[in-house]
Amino acid sequence: MLLIAGLGNPGPEYEVTRHNIGFMLVDRLGERYGIECASEGGGSLWGSGRIAGSEVLLLKPQTYMNGSGVAVCSAAGELSIEAASIIVAYDDSDLPPGRLKLKKGGGSGGHKGVESIISCLGSGDFVRVRLGIGRPDSSAEGLSGYVLEPFTQDECKVVDDLLARAADSIELFIKEGIGPAMNSFNSVS
């Protein structure tokens, strides 16, 4: 079984913010594969089903971004899922809007949600689906305010395309592994 966790913050005030693009990807996967994240437990909303013939658990931690590790570790522990069988999707302000990068293993890159997961798992050996949201135009706004703002109307088309490609990348990863998925999607913007 694979655990696919999309990171974000719970509550309607955060629903369409840049920081919640990980939740948006889990929702997109759920729509595409008929998996509803309607069950609650372990600090998450979750649903199980199949993607590309493999059993998956879709997870939306409800522990807020900085506590994502608690929810991911709870699900992984309950189902005996090792770090190598976890995919984590999250916003990345170091990538331009619409850019997608897959990677297996590594550090947190300064992302507090990923840092929390590494700390709780005791390992960084999971697949990351980094979803580019860019950075604010002005320094007055600050990154913390920027990630908690909703996508602009102009950004919505870019985000829709990004989520479609990210869902495709996860399907390819499940079918063929990280190398083919990275080769097919990391260089495409």
- Write out pLDDT tens, residues 60-115: 999 999 999 999 999 999 999 999 999 999 999 999 999 999 999 999 999 999 99
CA angle 47, 53, 56 (to 5 degrees): 25
- Are 169 and 129 in contact, with CB atoms under 8 Å apart? yes
Residue partners of 46: CB distance under 8 A and separation at least 6: 37, 39, 40, 57, 58, 59, 60, 75
Helix (H) or strand (E) holding 40: strand 39-41
Residue partners of 70: CB distance under 8 A and separation at least 6: 43, 61, 63, 116, 120
Alpha-carbon distance of 88 to 81, in angstroms, equals 13
The SS3 of residue 108 is: coil
β-partners of residue 1 are none
β-partners of residue 172 are none
Is 111 one of the annotated active-site residues of the chain?
A: no
Judged against a pLDDT cut of 70, whether residue 189 lies above it is answered with no
The 10s digit of each residue's pLDDT in 142-159 is 888 999 999 999 999 999
Alpha-carbon distance of 63 to 132, in angstroms, equals 23
pLDDT value of residue 137: 81
Compute the CA torsion angle 65, 66, 69, 71 (nearest 10 deg).
Answer: -50
Q: Which of 19, 28, 128, 165 is catalytic?
A: 19
Judged against a pLDDT cut of 70, whether residue 188 lies above it is answered with no
pLDDT value of residue 165: 98
The SS3 of residue 37 is: coil
pLDDT value of residue 139: 61
Tokens describing residue 134: 């860019």
The 10s digit of each residue's pLDDT in 10-48 is 999 999 999 999 999 999 999 999 999 999 999 999 999
Domains and CATH numbers, the chain: 2-185 (3.40.50.1470)
> Could you tell me the pTM of the whole model?
0.96
